[in-house]
Structure 1
Amino acid sequence: MVIVGRRPARHRGEALAGLALASPALLVFTVFMFVPLGMTAYYSLTRYTGFGEPRFQGLDNFGQIGSDPLFWRALVNTGVFTVISVPLSVLGGLGLALLLNRHLPGRGLLRALFYVPVVISAVSAGIIARWIFNENFGVANRLLTGLGLPEVGWQTDGPAALASVIAVQVWTSLGFAMVVYLAGLQGIGAEVYEAAVLDGASRWRMLRSITWPLLGPTSFFIVVYMVITSFQVFDIVVIMTGGGPQNATTFLVNYAYDAGFEQRRQGYAAALGAVLFVIVMALTLLQWRAGRRRDVA
């Protein structure tokens, strides 16, 4: 009877201790995540300019989003940006990880050089990219003319401007994918490859049948993370193109920012933010379910 009576009290003490240790993180999450989410949900149902009192108007903002051509343009731009940049970043990071996982001279230096773009600020990366893709004196056009190719209107041609933003996104995310894949590769035991070599497996067969399947959880994490970050891209676009030309590089976050702080339609901007949140959550859940099916299979 004494033991049965003490165990719940001990468990309650452990739960309270765990809650006390987690309380700083919970407080940060509440202040910087849950409270803003709640405020976004509230303002999305109002007409609000940032001054005075918000006026409740129900789902009118969401109805305007459905008939807003610029929203659909921003959504398509964001989707194209994600569909192109994420696979390039994932496959490029995997290729770098496979290369730099070998015993190469200067391997540590090469890893550091490829990781540098990850740690520099997005503003710095955007300034560097704006200089590289400048139509008048940029390095990109000079390289093209040096190879006998025509110059590209990186700031005046829509597809070219979008391509330049994608290139910078891939450049700044390759190092992250590389480091995570390196950690995954180093978690695969050497005996697995030794057994495959004894069975006569080629390098390609080992990559396809051993390395890639065992890196499944790593790939899942990288893809989910990069899809979320690609839908949140903002700084690079503001510095490089400002959303132009002719809204060719206007993404959802940029459009929400312009609606809220340039047009003073903060209720509408909150509705755009709510839609973006739903889209990202839906994509994350779809990827999570796909990952679970793969693990069960």
Structure 2
Amino acid sequence: MGIHHLITGSYTKTNLYLLAFDTIARTLTLNSTVPAFGLHHSGGSGARINAVDTDGGLGEQTVEMFYVPEEEIVNVDKTRNAVLYGAHSFDVNVNNKGFVAHLAWNAIFMYDIAENGTGALLSVNLSPEIGDGPRNAFPSVDGKWLYVMTEHSQHLDVYEIGETRLTHRQRASAIPDEMRGKHTYRGNTARLSRDGKYIFTSTRGWNSTEANGWVGAFALRENGTLQSEEALTYYEAPLTLGSAGGLRVAFWEDETNAGAYGVTDYMYLSDTQEGYMYILGWTPSNHTISQVAALQYPDGASPYEAAWLD
């Protein structure tokens, strides 16, 4: 009952890694390594929508969206570096509104996703400040709000989702105020707690071994907005997190630690500086985030994102 699994890839290796997290022993171990092949998801100059086959595989492409003149597609950088200055993420909410966070345009493209899988551009929504660099977006469960992490300014932005465009409503800092200007950071992602009462953010250090990564926790009102633009707490990672800083909240409840004062949410936090995967625990009763377990990958592998399997 206390064993849960997640699968990850690597920036530096062409393998998949199956990890086992034991909530009782508080350990993270490598179960198996599977040879595979794949690249960082290209992004950058375009985005695509594909149908899903009946067996769950990738089906026919329904539409491709371009963020440079179409005739320039053959010439632009299509390596993983392209996501550093191009389109970085694509998320769709419950109302079939699609959102592409675009670093270089400093904007969020909003689409209407039709039943046949095509996407029609509704609006281009500029970030509040020049140079923010929207990186990742996460829609609320009810489809009314969009939470956006900015890569270059390390902010969590809350947008109200209208019929055709976004309206910026709130902005919070994903790093402690005293760290601003001290080092260079890169904001990464935002994810909700299982009960929808909190939102977590991740930020990684950049070009300095002294700039450790950060995880922030913010309380949400029942309507989905931030209770306060001040964080409940920040957790400082042991390392910069390198090019990673991936964070995903586990979808399951830990029955071995259930109770009013226990950990309610586990999340992974990935690092490419030294190739670690961390498991963090959120305890809302005292507003703390703490490290529960850690694993250093073998042979120089560097995990970025992962998927909780069970």
Q: Would you say same fold, with TM above 0.5? A: no
Query: Which has a greater percent of strand?
Result: 2
Structure scoring higher RCO (CA < 8 A, sep ≥ 6) equals: 1
When Rg is computed on C-alpha atoms for both structures, the one with the higher figure is 1
With the shorter chain as reference, the TM-score category is: under 0.3
TM, length-normalised to structure 1: 0.23
TM, length-normalised to structure 2: 0.22
